[in-house]
Amino acid sequence: MNAHDSERIKGMLEDIGLGEASAPDDADVLVFNTCTIREKPDTRLAAHLGNAKALKERDPERVVAVGGCYAEAQRDRIFSQYPFVDVAFGPGSIPHLAEWLGAGGHGVSRSAFGIAEERRFAATLPTHRERSFQAWVQVSMGCNSKCAYCIVPSVRGREVSRRPGEIVAEVTRLASEGVKEITLLGQNVNSWGRDLRPDLDTEFGELLRACDAVDGIERIRFTSPHPKDFRDPVIAAIAECAAVCEHVHLPLQSGSTRILKAMRRTYSRERYVALAAKLRASIPDLAVGTDIIVGFPGETETDFAETLEVVEEVGYDSAYTFVYSPRAGTEAAEMPDQVPDEVKHERIERLVELVQRVAAERNLSRVGAVEEVLVEGTSRTDAAKLRGRTRRNTTVNFVGAAAPGELVHVEIHAASSTTLSGRQAALVAA
């Protein structure tokens, strides 16, 4: 969501005549789009702002703007901590950034925290897309869950869904511009629609079907769903819609029912595992990814062992793993029994090792298969090869001849825990 907001910020700045500078040194206006989900991005921002301060000392006319979730969490404190910042704004206020910066960065209201009357979708703004054939489509903003570790609800507010007609119109326009792959975005993407027509139960499965019906869209992804909102119509839509990819991100967070309860995730280990099994049984060839937090307050060795068990049981194709990071103002930050850093780090090492072993086994089972790959560019590790992604969302490095944006078939010859490699099928035949 943060990356998508950055595209909107860029598009908007271009609209008021501010193009992208090749380096921070050359920029008249520096805009930082922050994240605050864990402590690490906060630390990185502090380093970036140190550089911005030095640049501004050299040229006091330079404008420094700080947006995003960290700005929203800090509000006016940004200015006492970083007095050289001119404008700060939260993620719901992106549509107003142009007013605050003024044409070409002139007429800036200095040391002001931009507070818009109401949060608005950035979705209606111009976008600067990195790739012409892939696009994010924001379907909702905010989150109504109360996960005890998470700062998102307090910085992005309560959930508001975009109207289905508006979303489908955007997808149709994107398809006419040559977009082949869309990723529907929401903090809790599959609870989309509850606030729109509760009487008619507008639900995410219907939205998937409506997007699938748009000509030219070859691949549909969505992130991030919550296990509690994976009802049967959503599963049926994924299984039946040709464009919806065989990949589901299913955030586990913890494998211990006791910890899940303390996290307020509203499902148990058993319900989660049953859901994963149902998804795999209903959607042939499904890849399952996840998010896992280690070291949530009160997590014992037994709780952690349950997380490891679930990783083996579900057999994730990929997983993002995080050390629990206390966020000021969240329920978990105040809980007793915070887990010592050494324990957290020792546990995450064990978790990462298992996740890699399981994912490597899953990827190895693809060797010999022919996968449909959407070409994204040149391989990051070998300039002679191409890189793309399968419908199951695995990166493939391959020998081939195709342009970014093309769909090609690749015969898979080898696998690691995160990537596949192979050769384009037409070339194999040749």
Nearer to ligand SF4, 37 or 171 (CB): 37
Q: What is the smallest separation between the CB atom of 150 and ligand SF4, expressed in angstroms?
A: 3
Q: Which stretch binds ligand 5AD (CB under 6 A): 99-107, 320-328, 339-347, 394-402?
A: 320-328
Regarding 291 and contact with ligand 5AD (CB under 6 A), the answer is yes
Q: How many CB atoms lie within 10 A of CB 382?
A: 12
Looking only at the bridges linking them, the beta strands covering 419-424 and 407-415 are antiparallel
Helix 301-314 / helix 341-364 crossing angle, nearest 10 deg: 10
Q: What is the smallest separation between the CB atom of 139 and ligand 5AD, expressed in angstroms?
A: 17
Regarding 38 and contact with ligand 5AD (CB under 6 A), the answer is yes
3-class secondary structure per residue, the chain = CHHHHHHHHHHHHHHCCCCCCCCHHHCCEEEEEECCCCHHHHHHHHHHHHHHHHHHHHCCCCEEEEEEHHHHHHCCHHHHHCCCCCEEECHHHHHHHHHHHCHHHCCCCCCEEECCCCCCCHHHCCCCCCCCCEEEEECEECCCCCCCCCCHHHHHCCCEECCHHHHHHHHHHHHHCCCCEEEEECCCHHHCCCCCCCCCCCCHHHHHHHHHCCCCCCEEEEECCCHHHCCHHHHHHHHHCCCECCEEECCCECCCHHHHHHHCCCCCHHHHHHHHHHHHHHCCCCEEEEEEEECCCCCCHHHHHHHHHHHHHHCCCEEEEEECCCCCCCCHHHCCCCCCHHHHHHHHHHHHHHHHHHHHHHHHCCCCCEEEEEEEEECCCCCCCEEEEECCCCEEEEECCCCCCCEEEEEEEEECCCEEEEEEHHHHHC
Yes or no: say if 145 and 158 are a contact pair by the CB < 8 Å rule: no
From candidates 152, 184, 260, 294, binder to ligand SF4 by CB under 6 A: 152
Yes or no: say if 103 and 16 are a contact pair by the CB < 8 Å rule: yes
Q: What is the smallest separation between the CB atom of 152 and ligand 5AD, expressed in angstroms?
A: 7
- Residue 187 near which of ligand SF4, ligand 5AD, none (CB within 5-8 Å, type-dependent): ligand SF4
Q: What is the smallest separation between the CB atom of 294 and ligand 5AD, expressed in angstroms?
A: 9
Amino acid at 103: A
Nearer to ligand 5AD, 30 or 45 (CB): 45
Regarding 147 and contact with ligand SF4 (CB under 6 A), the answer is yes
Strand order in the sheet with 287-294: 247-249, 287-294, 318-323
Q: Give the separation between CA 226 and CA 192, rounded to whole angstroms.
A: 11
Q: What is the smallest separation between the CB atom of 25 and ligand SF4, expressed in angstroms?
A: 36
Q: Which stretch binds ligand 5AD (CB under 6 A): 25-33, 52-60, 319-327, 337-345?
A: 319-327
Mask: binding to ligand SF4, 210-229, rule CB under 6 A, as x and -?
A: ----------------x---
Regarding 153 and contact with ligand SF4 (CB under 6 A), the answer is yes
Q: What is the smallest separation between the CB atom of 227 and ligand 5AD, expressed in angstroms?
A: 11
Nearer to ligand SF4, 145 or 300 (CB): 145
- Residue 93 near which of ligand 5AD, ligand SF4, none (CB within 5-8 Å, type-dependent): none
Could you say which residues in the range 325-364 bind ligand 5AD, by CB under 6 A? 325, 327
- Residue 145 near which of ligand SF4, ligand 5AD, none (CB within 5-8 Å, type-dependent): ligand SF4
- Residue 267 near which of ligand 5AD, ligand SF4, none (CB within 5-8 Å, type-dependent): none
Regarding 13 and contact with ligand 5AD (CB under 6 A), the answer is no
Q: Which stretch binds ligand SF4 (CB under 6 A): 148-156, 267-275, 277-285, 332-340?
A: 148-156
Phi, psi dihedrals of residue 351, rounded to the nearest 5°: -65, -45
Number of residues that bind ligand SF4 (CB under 6 A): 9
Could you say which residues in the range 378-407 bind ligand 5AD, by CB under 6 A? none
Regarding 143 and contact with ligand SF4 (CB under 6 A), the answer is yes
Yes or no: say if 204 and 192 are a contact pair by the CB < 8 Å rule: yes
Q: Which stretch binds ligand 5AD (CB under 6 A): 25-33, 130-138, 262-270, 317-325?
A: 317-325
Q: What is the smallest separation between the CB atom of 69 and ligand 5AD, expressed in angstroms?
A: 11
Q: What is the smallest separation between the CB atom of 147 and ligand 5AD, expressed in angstroms?
A: 7
Mask: binding to ligand SF4, 174-213, rule CB under 6 A, as x and -?
A: -------------xx-------------------------
Binding site for ligand 5AD (CB under 6 A): 37-38, 149-150, 251, 253, 291, 293, 322, 324-325, 327
Binding site for ligand SF4 (CB under 6 A): 143, 145, 147, 150, 152-153, 187-188, 226
